[in-house]
Structure 1
Amino acid sequence: MGIEIRTTGPLFDGRAARAIAAYCDDAREEIAEYAETLVLNELGHVLRHPTGYYESRVETERLSADTSRVHDNGVVYGPWLEGVGSMNAPVTRFAGYSHWRRMKEVVQGQAPAMAQRILQRHLPGMR
């Protein structure tokens, strides 16, 4: 008596794993790009006398295979603009714009729906 088992399909030939990896990359990048766009748009609304320098320093950086970060490259007055610097209220009247914190909340609220839409594009590769 003998038993023969044949495994075929995307789960066994690597297609599903490749589709999942592509999905994760696309989701991470699209959500990070969305966050960067939101921050830049918000800065366009809140900055009273923009020089363009601070906005030019905002970028998305891939830290590892599964992590991207949107940041201002450590601009020295970035914490002051955000409202978390030592020179914000009560030291001065300027409380900051809270643009990073507010946009982070927006992205966290939108990310699950964005990830779901992105997943739909990758599902055919998992079949």
Structure 2
Amino acid sequence: MSTSSRGPIFDGRAQRVANAFVNRYERNLAEEGLNILRGEMHRVFRNPTGYYESRCKVIEGHIISDSRVVYGPWLAGVGSRNFPVTKFKGYDHWLVTRDRLNARKRGIGERLLRQYTGRM
């Protein structure tokens, strides 16, 4: 009895498809997270100017960033000028975004994986 070493696992196709899946999954998570974040900003900000929201974007394909806006930590409640220095304790937009994205990530991955398994 002999074995064959041909096919997607042996010629590298499966690895390329797996890498493409991971890249797309990370981008989808980041984009979903950005959508959640923007929704949370609309929910909690009392006097939005639109500048902070416009600076929030996906960078490097998988990172959600506020472009290091100087008052970003203050809005999130982790800045040096938050409570007890001032009454403002910050908003929970980043924390809620994290929690909601964590709750959705499995479903996002499962739906996406169906598109890639046939190519392996």
TM-score w.r.t. structure 1 length?
A: 0.86
- Helix, strand or coil for the counterpart of 1:30? helix
Shift of 1:109: 2.1
Partners of 1:114 and 1:123 lie apart in 2 by 15
Shift of 1:82: 0.5
- Which residue in 1 is equivalent to 2:117? 123
Shift of 1:4: 5.9
The number of residue pairs the alignment matches comes to 120
- Which residue in 1 is equivalent to 2:23? 25
Q: Structure 2: which amino acid aligns with 1:113?
A: G
- Helix, strand or coil for the counterpart of 1:60? strand
Percent identity of the aligned residues?
Answer: 38
Select the residue among 82, 85, 90 that pairs with 1:88.
82
Partners of 1:125 and 1:15 lie apart in 2 by 8
Summarize deviations over 1:10-53 as a string: whole Å, max 9, x none.
Answer: 11222211210110111010001001111111111111111110
Partners of 2:32 and 2:76 lie apart in 1 by 19
- Which residue in 1 is equivalent to 2:104? 110
- Which residue in 1 is equivalent to 2:68? 74
Partners of 2:89 and 2:38 lie apart in 1 by 19
Instruction: Pick the structure with greater CA Rg.
Output: 1
Q: Structure 1: which amino acid aligns with 2:60?
A: R
Partners of 2:74 and 2:55 lie apart in 1 by 15
Structure 2 alignment gaps of length 5 or more:
none
Structure 1 alignment gaps of length 5 or more:
none
8 Å Cα contact 2:40-2:96 kept in structure 1: no
